[in-house]
Amino acid sequence: MDAAPKRSARPGAAGRWAARGRGAASTLLGGLATLFGLAILTFIIGRTMPIDPVLAIVGDKATPEVEARIREALGLDRSLLVQFWIYLRDLLQGDLGRSVMTGDPVTQDIMRFFPASLELATSAMVLALLFGIPLGILAAAHQNSFFDNAMRVIGLLGYSVPVFVLALICLLVFYAQLGIAPGTGAQGIIYQGMVPHRTGMITVDAALDGQWGAFWDALSYLAMPAILLAFITLSMIVRMTRAFMLEALSGEYIVTARAKGLSKTRILWRHGLGNVAGRLFTVLAVIYASLLEGTVLTETVFSRPGLGLYLTRSLLNADMNAVLGATLVIGVVYVTLNLLADLAQRLLDPRAR
């Protein structure tokens, strides 16, 4: 009697795609649950802060009748469960309330200020990537050398010193003492109002409009805060790249590649970096998301008109709609980037699948 044919233990293409689909669905559900938790957290903060949103709108000299009408219009006279439902419904419609400080809808304010923060964070990330990954790879390739120890010191310095301290030191040295960098702000006085608002990123808008004088002026104001954030980001990228590469270079496939006589450059960049690309991409996405949080203090010190400065001024003016709206947007961006990084890792790294 013939033996039954053995079934391959290796799953077919349909099974692999089904597993990937289940993993992606699980990741998406986790992200949605996190966003829902973020909505609950911001709602609780808005209701427990010792600031009455009605008094912030009408002032402390308004009559009780006016306060009652505003409280009823905002739905604050209803139960907390109903208030949360109204809050969640407005969030899904993109309604974050109206800012007391500017008088405009918070969503409109965020759309006006967020591109400037995106410009700063992206500039810093590009600079950090250009130098951080090569330095981390070289540090791993020359482990325990002088260069490796120097990179570890730089990483420790970037991790240890608060961003606002470095920002104040940069202003003191390069602006006040040496005079080689412009001061605070995003543009010189003569260029303010000249660049049309298209993307909200001054350098991009100036380049699109062909105003190269305004472009170089805006770039000079962008340089110091971007380099500062890039230094802090670079320290994290160097550290993580070095750790991943050291683990990869100790693998058996690297020994095999060396035995085959492959060049050291090919081993480092193709086999070593290629093996850690998935995990490194995930870390880079998290670092980029954290940059948006770092811009809050940086924009405040350098007085750059971005989401961070908007958030700080709103907090000082007890504008809770603006504070919670900006906080929620930063949280959504952070969760979304983490979600995309997790999905990308499942595609790039077979071990994650």
Q: Are 313 and 123 a contacting pair, CB within 8 Å?
A: no
Distances (CA, A) of 120 to 126, 225, 273, 312: 10, 8, 28, 17
pLDDT recorded at residue 1: 45
Q: Are 187 and 216 a contacting pair, CB within 8 Å?
A: no
Assess if residue 29 is contained within a domain. no
Indicate the pLDDT class of residue 8, thresholds 50, 70 and 90.
Answer: very low
Tokens 């050398």 appear where? 145
Mean pLDDT of 115-120: 90
> Residues near 175 by Cβ (< 8 Å), separated by ≥ 6?
181, 182, 183, 224
Assess if residue 115 is contained within a domain. yes
Kindly report which listed range (108-122, 124-138, 305-319) carries the lowest average pLDDT score.
Answer: 305-319
d(C-alpha 298, C-alpha 309), whole Å: 9
Residue 330: name the closest of 295, 301, 303, 282 by CA. Answer: 295
Domain that holds residue 255: 109-352
Contacts 24+ apart (CB under 8 A), 52-56: 53/320, 53/321, 56/100, 56/318, 56/319, 56/320
Assess if residue 327 is contained within a domain. yes
Assess if residue 98 is contained within a domain. no
> Residues near 344 by Cβ (< 8 Å), separated by ≥ 6?
278, 281, 282, 285
For residue 213, count other CB atoms closer than 10 A to its CB: 12
Token pair for 118: 């995106």
**pTM of the complete model:** 0.80
Assess if residue 11 is contained within a domain. no
How many independent structural domains does the chain possess? 1
Higher pLDDT, 34 or 260: 34
In this structure, what CATH number is given to the domain that contains residue 189? 1.10.3720.10
Kindly report which listed range (67-71, 141-145, 290-294, 347-351) carries the lowest average pLDDT score.
Answer: 347-351
Alpha-carbon torsion, ordered 76, 79, 84, 85, to 10 deg: -110
Q: Is the pLDDT of residue 351 over 80?
A: no
Distances (CA, A) of 76 to 86, 104, 129, 182, 327: 10, 21, 48, 47, 21
Q: Is the pLDDT of residue 227 over 80?
A: yes
| pLDDT tens digits along 286-342 | 888 888 776 778 888 888 888 888 888 887 777 778 888 888 888 888 888 888 877
pLDDT recorded at residue 94: 81
Q: Is the pLDDT of residue 9 over 50?
A: no
Assess if residue 164 is contained within a domain. yes
Specify whether the backbone of 24 is left (phi greater than 0), alpha (psi in -120 to 50) or beta. alpha
Q: Are 27 and 339 a contacting pair, CB within 8 Å?
A: yes
Quick one: angle between helices 307-316 and 273-302, nearest 10? 40
Mean pLDDT of 171-181: 85
Residue 148's SS3 state is helix
